[in-house]
Amino acid sequence: MEGNKTLASTTVSNRDLKPPNKPIYQMKRNIWKEMKKNYSSYLFLLPKLVLFSLFIAFPVVWALVLSFQEYRVNGSIFIGLDNYISVFKSEAFMIALKNTALFTAVTVPFNIISALVVASLIFPLGKISQNFFRSAFYLPTVTSMVIIAMVWRWMYNYDFGLFNHILGWFGIESINWLGQSSTALWALIIMQCLIPFGVGIIMYLASMGAISNTLYEAATIDGAGAIKKWFYITIPLLKPTTLYLVLLSTIGSFQVFTQIIMMTGGGPDNATETLVHLIYKTGFRDFEFGLAAAQSVVLFLIILVFSVIQFRMLRHDE
């Protein structure tokens, strides 16, 4: 009998521990109560929410709707998937995609690796030296890309540019860096690679500071040198930071625009045409807003696919 009572009491206690299933309307009522309770917080968020809705959410939704239409001033016409078919049949879009992919494939790995190496060299220094180099490498990040592009356009100038002036010291003939198809895109890639990735350096330095010194001390006891510590401790523990920076750099490189419009305009012969610059020309030069919207949606899907692949390859397994 006592065993049965114990079993019954245990059963009752287990039932009591199980939370009851609340109806959906009751959950909604609780959420509404919480919102009313913290209404002042939501009032502070309201201006930002309105701006986000007007300038980000609504344009994105409208671009998706517009991609299925032939836009006209006196009224748009629904044309289904015709714009998307035109995108994939367009030779200009494929050239822009190839150029953007090459630009991304070279600049993203170079920027990530260079940021990691520079951060690793700065981290052992004293606090004053660290602060100096942080400021020095981060300064180009806050400088307008328009100004940077104008400086590099002068350095690439055929007649009086810095690079051709240096080549002249060695008796090498001047190169039309931005005026010929074989060098124009690579000139832009070199420019992007030589601009310090300040955000990456700052984030790597912050992440390195969070790594416990006991790991390095244990590795030292085991006889590991500086290079082995870097490869087997530092780099693996920086994997979440690397994932974030790779995603950030990939999205930014696929959206490269300012350098193109300021230095080459997509030429010569579409050698430096990129996806965003092509979208800009399609919409604001040719006034084919439906086709430009379809190109934008395709670009979004390409970035999404690359981001998912990179996330799965570099995600940090706990």
Do residue 47 and residue 115 come from a single domain? no
CATH of residue 130's domain is: 1.10.3720.10
Domain that holds residue 34: 21-66
pLDDT tens digits in sequence order for the chain, 318 residues long: 444 444 444 444 444 444 555 555 556 567 777 777 777 877 888 899 899 999 999 989 999 999 999 887 677 888 889 999 999 999 999 999 999 999 999 999 999 999 999 999 999 998 899 899 998 998 888 888 999 999 999 999 998 899 999 999 998 999 999 999 999 999 999 999 999 888 999 999 999 999 999 999 999 998 888 899 999 999 999 998 999 999 999 999 999 999 999 999 998 899 999 999 999 999 999 889 999 999 999 999 999 998 888 888 776 554
The pLDDT of residue 267: 86
- What is the number of structural domains in the chain? 2
> In this structure, is residue 171 part of a structural domain?
yes
> In this structure, is residue 8 part of a structural domain?
no
> In this structure, is residue 251 part of a structural domain?
yes
The residue assigned the tokens 């490189």 is: 253
Do residue 119 and residue 61 come from a single domain? no
9-56 residue pLDDT tens: 444 444 444 455 555 555 656 777 777 777 787 788 889 989 999 999
Do residue 62 and residue 210 come from a single domain? no
- Rounded Cα gap, residues 21 and 15, in angstroms: 12
Do residue 267 and residue 230 come from a single domain? yes
Do residue 28 and residue 158 come from a single domain? no
Do residue 136 and residue 235 come from a single domain? yes
> In this structure, is residue 180 part of a structural domain?
yes
pTM: 0.83
> In this structure, is residue 13 part of a structural domain?
no
Do residue 204 and residue 303 come from a single domain? yes
Query: Residues, the chain, total?
Result: 318
Do residue 32 and residue 92 come from a single domain? no
> In this structure, is residue 246 part of a structural domain?
yes
Angle of helix 91-122 relative to helix 289-314, nearest 10 degrees? 40
Domain end position, chosen among 40, 66, 92: 66
The pLDDT of residue 43: 84
The pLDDT of residue 17: 46
Do residue 106 and residue 57 come from a single domain? no
Do residue 101 and residue 58 come from a single domain? no
CA angle 234, 235, 240 (to 5 degrees): 110
> In this structure, is residue 75 part of a structural domain?
no
Q: What is the 3-state secondary structure (H, E, C) of the chain?
A: CHHHHHHHHHHHHHHHHCCCCCCHHHHHHHHHHHHHHCHHHHHHHHHHHHHHHHHHHHHHHHHHHHCCEECCCCCCEECCCHHHHHHHHCHHHHHHHHHHHHHHHHHHHHHHHHHHHHHHHHCCCCHHHHHHHHHHHHHHHHCCHHHHHHHHHHHCCCCCCHHHHHHHHCCCCCCCCCCCHHHHHHHHHHHHHHCCCHHHHHHHHHHHHCCCHHHHHHHHHCCCCHHHHHHHHHHHHCHHHHHHHHHHHHHHHHCCCHHHHHHCCCCCCCCCCCHHHHHHHHHHCCCCHHHHHHHHHHHHHHHHHHHHHHHHHHCCCC
The pLDDT of residue 126: 87
Do residue 120 and residue 30 come from a single domain? no
> In this structure, is residue 213 part of a structural domain?
yes
The pLDDT of residue 40: 80
Do residue 61 and residue 127 come from a single domain? no
- Rounded Cα gap, residues 141 and 135, in angstroms: 10
